[in-house]
Amino acid sequence: MKRDLLKVGILKTGRPPKPAIAQFGTYPEMFMNLLGEDAYAWRTYAVDEGDYPEAPEDCAAYIVTGSSAGVYEDEAWIGQLMAWLRAARGRTKLVGVCFGHQAMAQAFGGRVIKSPKGWAIGEQAYRVLSREPWMDEASTIRLPGSHQDQVVEPPPGADVIAASEFTPYGALAWRDQPAISIQLHPEFEPAYAKALIEARRGKVYTDEQADRGIVSYDGPDDRARVGGWIRRFLET
């Protein structure tokens, strides 16, 4: 671990489909690629396997990854993660992405459900509702989405900072602790996002849904911009 680098932990809550890992890496590796492998002193904790820091203060910040699980599921590791998040409140910085966004909302008093709206797949556009100190002047962001679960009641102490009509609680910033979260996936490269859609074609998504999601990646996205936002949040 390099001296003087900010210590950032990644709480791994799931993994990509096995065939995709060789080409695209694990979720922790995707975040390291997005934010800079040499930018921080990284440490991964497989919380879906019961691996946790000894104390929240072991790292200056933690990123909670995506997962195929639902935060409302009766799994022991999910309950353990919720308890850890509540214990970590105010003692370290927290960043949640997709499942991590939902887990933080649920842990801190919000509510998450499997949405009757169905799946959000492909590039999704959010309006920026609140320009935080770690953000630039963008009025919209466009990032990969892959979710059916949604936050339907935000937790006390958190403001909605970006959203769409489909996902009205798409990104949150807490005012009572150093914590932010987003439903979309800045860590997903478009090639991986398309591979994930293809892996679920005919099983999770219809051909029409899959085709629409694939085509959406022909346009630009804001992965680099939102990655910069996360870095500035971690470092200020």
Judge whether 213 lies within some domain. Answer: no
In a domain, 211, yes or no: no
> What backbone phi and psi angles, to 5 degrees, belong to 62?
-135, 140
CA distance 232 to 228: 6
> Is there a contact between 115 and 153 (Cβ–Cβ < 8 Å)?
no
Q: Element (H or E) spanning 213, and its range?
A: helix 207-216
Q: What local confidence, expressed as pLDDT, does residue 4 receive?
A: 87
What is the H or E stretch that residue 100 is in? helix 99-107
Judge contact between 137 and 231, C-beta under 8 A: no
Domain assignment present for residue 139? The answer is no
Q: Of the candidates 91, 178, 167, 173, which has an alpha carbon nearest to the alpha carbon of residue 135?
A: 173
Q: Is 181 among the domain residues?
A: yes
**Residue 227: how many other CB atoms lie within 10 Å:** 17
Q: For residue 206, tell me if it sits in a domain.
A: no
The domain containing residue 100 runs over which residues? 7-115+147-187+223-235
Cα dihedral: 179, 184, 189, 191 (round 10): 160
First to last CA, the chain: 21
Backbone conformation region of residue 36, classed left if phi is above 0, alpha if psi is from -120 to 50, else beta: left
φ and ψ at residue 44, rounded to 5 degrees: -100, 135
As annotated, the active-site residues are 98, 185, 187
Tell me if 122 is assigned to some domain.
Answer: no
Cβ(41)–Cβ(5) under 8 Å? yes
* Helices 27-35/223-235 angle, 10° precision: 80
Residue 217 lies in a domain: no
State the residue for tokens 């396997």.
49
The domain total for the chain is: 1
CATH number where 111 lies: 3.40.50.880
For residues 196 and 185, what is the distance between their CA atoms, to the nearest angstrom? Answer: 13
pTM above 0.85, yes or no: yes
Question: Two tokens at 194?
Answer: 């398309």
Full pLDDT tens readout for the chain, 236 residues: 446 899 999 999 999 999 999 999 999 999 999 999 999 999 999 999 999 999 999 999 999 999 999 999 999 999 999 999 999 999 999 999 999 999 999 999 999 999 999 999 999 999 999 999 999 999 999 999 999 999 999 999 999 999 999 999 999 999 999 999 999 999 999 999 999 999 999 999 999 999 999 999 999 999 999 999 999 999 99
- Looking at residue 1, its pLDDT comes to 46
The answer to whether position 36 is within a domain reads yes
C-alpha distances out from residue 179 to 72, 112, 174, Å: 21, 18, 5
